[in-house]
Amino acid sequence: MFKMFKRPSGNIALAMVLAVIGAMSGFTLSSLAMRDVVAFQYDYEGLQTTIFLRSEAYRGQKIAQRLGVVFIPVKTSERNVEISHSAMRKTFKIQSLLSQGDLVSTTDDVVIGDQAQRTIVKSLVKTKAGIGQTAMMNPKYSMIKKYGIYTLETETFAKFMYFTDTDESPNETNVYFHGPDILHGRVHSNTNIWIKKTTGGVNNGWPVFYGWVSTHGEVVSFSGSYNENEVFQGGLSEGYAYTVFPEEASSIRRRGNVVGPNYNNPNVIMYVDVNNRGYTAYIGEVQSPRAETVDVFNPYPPENPDTYLYQNQYTVRDTIWDFYENGTCQNQSKWVHNKLWIKGKFGSYQTWGCGDTLFLLDDILLQGTPRGTNPISNVTDVVGLVAEKSIVIKYGYWDPVDTLRHHDNCGPDTDFGGIWIYAAMAALGKGGPLHPQGDGVFTFEYQHPHPSVPDVRVNNVLYTKIDLRRYRFPHRTSYYWASNTANNRNLRIDYPWYNPLWPERLPYLERGYISIYGSVSQRRRGFVHRSYYDIEWPSYNDWDQPIDYCGPSSSPGDVGHNDPVFGFQLTNINYPGASGSGTGYKKNYYYDDRFYRTSPIDFPEVNREDETPFAAVNWVIKPPPESL
């Protein structure tokens, strides 16, 4: 072989061999280096897209928490993240699609347990070469793409037919489920549930719960032992997990669809009349107090107008109404910062919320469901009502449109007259331990009716505010209402302006039924029926309505009398056709079974201890589609 180096031809051949070997080695090293570069870029893109995919899933979770329950698919705006350094210049395009998932039972040992609604977040990350204008003009995407499905679960309070945070009255007295109470659907209390045997109903005087009942406390019977299977026919769980009841309608507030002034003013009322998918709104502004003085006579009208006993001095406040706007409410949640008066026939998905008290002026009906029928087949209309204080059934009102007096929520017992409510309701108010009357309740207005003397025209003379011209006002410990001398009182007369239609000669006691196809969630158990006189909360000598001191008994036998001057009868009566002994309503409560599958828009979410709304169930990476 060494002889080969001595020949020129051999040198040339060897040089050629070495050149070929060198070239092949160079190509091999270059390909190895290129393979390393490509592999690095693929690995980098794969790792980076995974990181972006995970961050996009969390972004979708935050968006879901902001949107509330998702009813129709929502695609997020596309994010473009540019990464540029000496090794590469890449643009990552990131987007998600939020959609409604299925419904799952979170409790397996009951027929109908806690129902959780799932929200699906589908996220896709794709890559383009270049950044800025270069990436924009480049139609081709990299082979590296990542696609993940993030599953979230949430529950709203619409799943409860009846939820109470504190099962006591605003007076901190026990409120019982008893004979006439028949409840269909899920019931939960964060405190003890009190039951007792009375009369009526279908279970020998005991209440009946056809849905599953749970309590963080226990069931306490006022009437001794009872048959649990007959009372709690849908199942009972005591010591169940505490369920956090929110204080704010955060989802509706965040949506920002405001009706009325963009601030809270206790002297502003918004009146809303919903007609299908639109509404008409009026604004009422309570005026500043103005002083009035009237002479007091005994008797009145006076025999001698120049001789009066003393003068009453008081303030009155008028409400001025104006048209506000016509608007659309199709598939929206609406927010009112102030008091809200509402009624109407609702079409599409609607939720109305307010930062104060919500008053029901009349029926809350669905466009696609006849009054008095089950809405189960209605797939288009769902209503939510949320108040950050209380939800109150109005006794009566002066209509700002027709200026007439209305008793629209009173009716006979036949055909369940009274008020029909097709809605999920939540009263979120929290007054705190020192102010239980400030807790949110579902209740009714004017719970202790007494008669008052209406305006009278005699011999072409109009006599007004007659009770104020006969008795000392306002109430004080040394001079009771209604009296002319110290410690002397007329127990038969209503306190001025307690009745929203004051003065009223024959106010109503029994007012028919509250008929619900929906759900009720409240901070504290509100009264929907009262005795003539509440022995657990006596207020015989006192008038202070905010703390439920409303004078003596409302029994017709105690208050009925003939006016000493005009001669007509003054008393209180049941609404024609309504029966019973007391004041208020009977219950006719049914759960809207559609709420097991869906919920009103932006309705308050359930949050148990150590849990958050829209909790993650799983996150799965799957083969990517071309687009969402």
The predicted-structure confidence for 443-472, as pLDDT tens digits, reads as follows 999 999 999 999 999 989 999 999 999 998
Distance set, CA 486 to CA 141, 227, 236, 472, 477 (Å): 92, 55, 56, 10, 9
Calpha distance 403→274 (Å, rounded): 19
Calpha distance 300→139 (Å, rounded): 93
Calpha distance 366→38 (Å, rounded): 62
Q: Which pLDDT band holds residue 123 (cuts at 50, 70, 90)?
A: very high
pLDDT at 112: 41
- Find tokens 């309505």 and name the residue: 545
pLDDT at 16: 63
> Which residues are registered as beta bridge partners of 182?
208
Q: For residues 292-296, give the mean pLDDT.
A: 95
pLDDT at 591: 93
The 3-state DSSP composition of the chain as helix, strand, coil percent (nearest 5) reads 15, 35, 45
> Which residues are registered as beta bridge partners of 392?
359, 443
Q: Is the pLDDT of residue 23 over 60?
A: no
Q: Is the pLDDT of residue 28 over 60?
A: no
Calpha distance 60→227 (Å, rounded): 49
Q: Which pLDDT band holds residue 113 (cuts at 50, 70, 90)?
A: very low
Record the tokens describing residue 95, joined without a space.
């987007």
Q: For residues 485-501, give the mean pLDDT.
A: 82
Q: Specify the DSSP class assigned to residue 265.
A: -
CB 341 within 8 A of CB 282: no
pLDDT at 262: 95
Q: Is the pLDDT of residue 337 over 50?
A: yes
* 105, 602, 598, 349: CA torsion to nearest 10: 170
Distance set, CA 497 to CA 315, 376, 501 (Å): 11, 42, 7
Q: Is the pLDDT of residue 62 over 50?
A: yes
Q: Specify the DSSP class assigned to residue 29.
A: H
pLDDT at 48: 84
pLDDT at 477: 77
Q: Is the pLDDT of residue 609 over 80?
A: no
Residue 66 half-sphere exposure toward CB, CA atoms < 13 A: 12
* 321, 327, 331, 337: CA torsion to nearest 10: -40
Which residues touch 166 (CB under 8 Å, ≥6 apart)?
190, 191, 436, 439, 523, 524, 525
pLDDT at 22: 59
- Least confident segment among 43-57, 318-332, 587-601: 43-57
pLDDT at 356: 98
- Find tokens 């059934």 and name the residue: 393
- Least confident segment among 132-146, 213-227, 603-617: 603-617
Rg (CA), the chain: 35
Q: Is the pLDDT of residue 31 over 90?
A: no
CB 257 within 8 A of CB 246: no
Q: Is the pLDDT of residue 428 over 90?
A: yes
Instruction: Give alpha helix (H) positions in 486-591.
Output: 556-559
Calpha distance 342→258 (Å, rounded): 15
Provide the 3-class DSSP secondary structure of residue 213.
Answer: strand
> Mean pLDDT in the chain?
87
Q: For residues 98-102, give the mean pLDDT.
A: 80
- Find tokens 């009868």 and name the residue: 569
Q: What is the pLDDT of residues 257-279, one digit of tens each?
A: 999 999 999 999 999 999 999 99
Q: For residues 540-564, give the mean pLDDT.
A: 91
> Which one is predicted more confidently, 372 or 6?
372
Q: Is the pLDDT of residue 21 over 90?
A: no
Q: What is the pLDDT of residues 181-222, one digit of tens each?
A: 888 889 999 999 999 999 888 899 999 999 899 999 999 999
CB 340 within 8 A of CB 324: no
Q: Is the pLDDT of residue 9 over 70?
A: no
- Least confident segment among 130-144, 267-281, 309-323: 130-144
Q: Which pLDDT band holds residue 12 (cuts at 50, 70, 90)?
A: low
Q: Is the pLDDT of residue 27 over 60?
A: no
**H or E stretch at 294:** strand 290-296
